[in-house]
Amino acid sequence: MRKTGSDPHKTRERILVCATAQFAARGYEGARVDTIARRCGLAKNMLYHYFGSKEGLFIATLERMYETLRARQRDFAVRGSDPAEAMRQLVAHTFSALLEHSEAIALLNNENLHKGRHARRSKRIRSLYDPLVDTIREVLRRGAAQGIFRADIDPVTLYLSLSSLAYHYISNQYTLHAAFGIDFTSKARRKAWLAHITEMILTYCQSEAGAVVRRATAARR
């Protein structure tokens, strides 16, 4: 075994990196603490020292995964930026984050098989979502104040819509390939899907006045 070193943060992070790979590949039930310990070069009791139990390690892995996804979305709506552009950035950052972190798809799929049991026991996951919802609410408020967005949009419903559109494409890309004979992993297909869902979200958000402006702008092009 490698020496653990004197930096608890680095040790903890190394454990979480190995745990993420194992839980993503094997699921909660299939992953083994012995294997995770061996792959990160630590004694098994070190994992229990940091996380208490296999369940504690899985919850920490979920929290790290949510932190990673939220980090990609955190700066999408800079104060004073155009609300429509901010919404485009949110869709793009959400889609890119899921593409770049395929382990998140596997972890989320597995946790849903467990009906969110471990996520509910986390003391941090809810707090990771609250700032995002608040920011979306602020972007929608600014858009409504400018007359380009409707004033009756619920930020949680909006986020569920856009994340579902991004998530489903990636989580089901292989079964969709089998069903339609189309390579949904190609760059061209992914770019086209991002453009498609961005347009869907902006169309849903826009006010009647905003729709008139968009049609007029498109007609001049």
For residue 52, the SS3 value is coil
Query: What's the pLDDT at 73?
Result: 74
Phi, psi of 169 (to 5 degrees): -60, -45
Nearest-angstrom CA–CA distance, 61 and 13: 10
Phi-psi region of 7 (alpha: psi -120 to 50; beta: other; left: phi over 0): beta
**Tens digit of each residue's pLDDT (9 = 90 or more) over 18-77:** 999 999 999 999 999 999 999 999 999 999 999 999 999 999 999 999 999 888 777 666
Q: Using the predicted structure, report yes or no on whether residue 217 has a pLDDT greater than 80.
A: no
- In the numeric block, the tokens 């169309």 are attached to 203
Euclidean distance between the first and final Cα of the chain, in Å?
65
Instruction: Please state, for a pLDDT cut of 90, what percent of the chain lies above it.
Output: 80
CA 191 remoteness from chain centre = 18
Tokens representing 123 are: 């003391």
CA 209 remoteness from chain centre = 32
pTM of the model: 0.85
For residue 187, give every residue at least 6 positions away whose Cβ sits within 8 Å of its Cβ, in sequence order, or none: none
Identify the CA nearest to 22 among candidates 90, 100, 110, 96: 110
Q: What is the mean pLDDT of residues 201-206?
A: 96
Give the pLDDT band (50/70/90) at residue 4: very low
Residues found in the chain? 221
Query: What's the pLDDT at 214?
Result: 59
Name the CA radius of gyration of the chain, rounded: 21
Is 144:206 a contact under the CB 8 Å cutoff?
Answer: no
Give the pLDDT band (50/70/90) at residue 15: very high
Nearest-angstrom CA–CA distance, 68 and 106: 14
